[in-house]
Amino acid sequence: MITPNEIATLAEHLDGAQRDCADVLSLAETIDFDIDDAYAIQSALLARRVQRGERAIGLKLGFTSRAKMAQMGVTDVIVGRLTDAMRIADGGPVELSRFIHPKIEPEVAYRLCRDIDIDEQLVDIESCVDAMAPALEIIDSRFRDFRFTYTDVVADNTSAAAFVIGPWQPLRAVPNSAVRLIAGDAEVIGSTAAILGDPIRALHALLDMCRRRRIPLRAGQVILAGAATAAIPLTPGVAECEITGLGTVAVTAKGV
């Protein structure tokens, strides 16, 4: 357990890395902190953004594939925070200069239509969702070469940097839909089943995490369920994702 002062200092350090687009070394190499500390640093990071005028508008899950969990040696998903400043319009431009070493990954997004009492044990989270959409997440670890520990990445707001939501549509089952992401010369193909076996399970995992981490769930929040394929580098040009049965979503990366 680290002190409140250390939490504030580490949040300032990671916030500075993001704002200056300057990578930093793993925190875990120099300071011993646990997963509770990591979520406290993440909350302090969000508070800094909110103080600058950003609005918290959603949540994201990470480590939702078995391969990623195994790689990190964990059995839990991780949760991060999304703000309005991270949102890019579908098809719209994003300057690469605002990132350190961005990667892009295909996601499924859900939208909450009511506030959820996270202490209500019988809540049916699926009935609290009114829409879903194809989505893209841009991840940009603040750690050099994406080299981090489990606690590092949680503290670093799960590498969250930006996201794009495609056209919202009514909730439907997409347990095993084909996913194709093209960005520059790179192409990845996968399935929505890579997201916890079925992306709908991400909602239940999210509720569990929000209960454990005391994160509120509010009407209108956007939820990114997790990556359906490995992330690929975001290079200049259009990156487009198509999910069978859900449609397409795109972003146009500008600059070098």
Q: Which residues in 146-176 are b (16+ Cβ under 10 Å) and which e? A: bebbbbbbbbbbbbbbbbbbbeeeeeeebee
C-beta nearest to ligand 0L1: residue: 62
137 binds Mg ion (CB under 5 A): yes
What are the backbone dihedrals phi and psi of residue 18, each rounded to the nearest 5 degrees, phi first? -70, -45
Structural element, H or E, at residue 160: strand 160-165
Residues whose CB falls within 8 Å of the CB of residue 200, separated by 6 or more in sequence, listed in order: 126, 173, 175
Q: Which does 153 bind (CB under 5 to 8 A by kind): ligand 0L1, Mg ion, none?
A: ligand 0L1
141 binds ligand 0L1 (CB under 6 A): yes
Question: Which region among 19-27, 74-82, 134-142, 202-210 touches Mg ion (by CB under 5 A)?
Answer: 134-142
In whole angstroms, the minimum distance from the beta carbon of 202 to ligand 0L1 comes to: 11
227 binds Mg ion (CB under 5 A): yes
Q: Which does 157 bind (CB under 5 to 8 A by kind): ligand 0L1, Mg ion, none?
A: none
137 binds ligand 0L1 (CB under 6 A): yes
R_g (Cα) of the chain, nearest Å:
17
Question: How far, in Å, CA of 7 to CA of 13, rounded?
Answer: 10
Binding to ligand 0L1 in span 222-251, by CB under 6 A: 226-227
Q: Which residue has the tokens 């399935």?
A: 191
Closest CA to 98 of 13, 15, 21, 184: 21
Closest CA to 110 of 191, 202, 28: 202
Question: Which region among 2-10, 34-42, 134-142, 212-220 touches ligand 0L1 (by CB under 6 A)?
Answer: 134-142
139 binds ligand 0L1 (CB under 6 A): yes
Task: Return the residue of 18, 151, 157, 158 that touches ligand 0L1, per CB under 6 A.
Answer: 158
153 binds ligand 0L1 (CB under 6 A): yes
Question: Which region among 37-45, 203-211, 219-227, 240-248 touches Mg ion (by CB under 5 A)?
Answer: 219-227
Binding residues for ligand 0L1, per CB under 6 A?
60, 62, 137, 139, 141, 146, 153, 158-159, 226-227
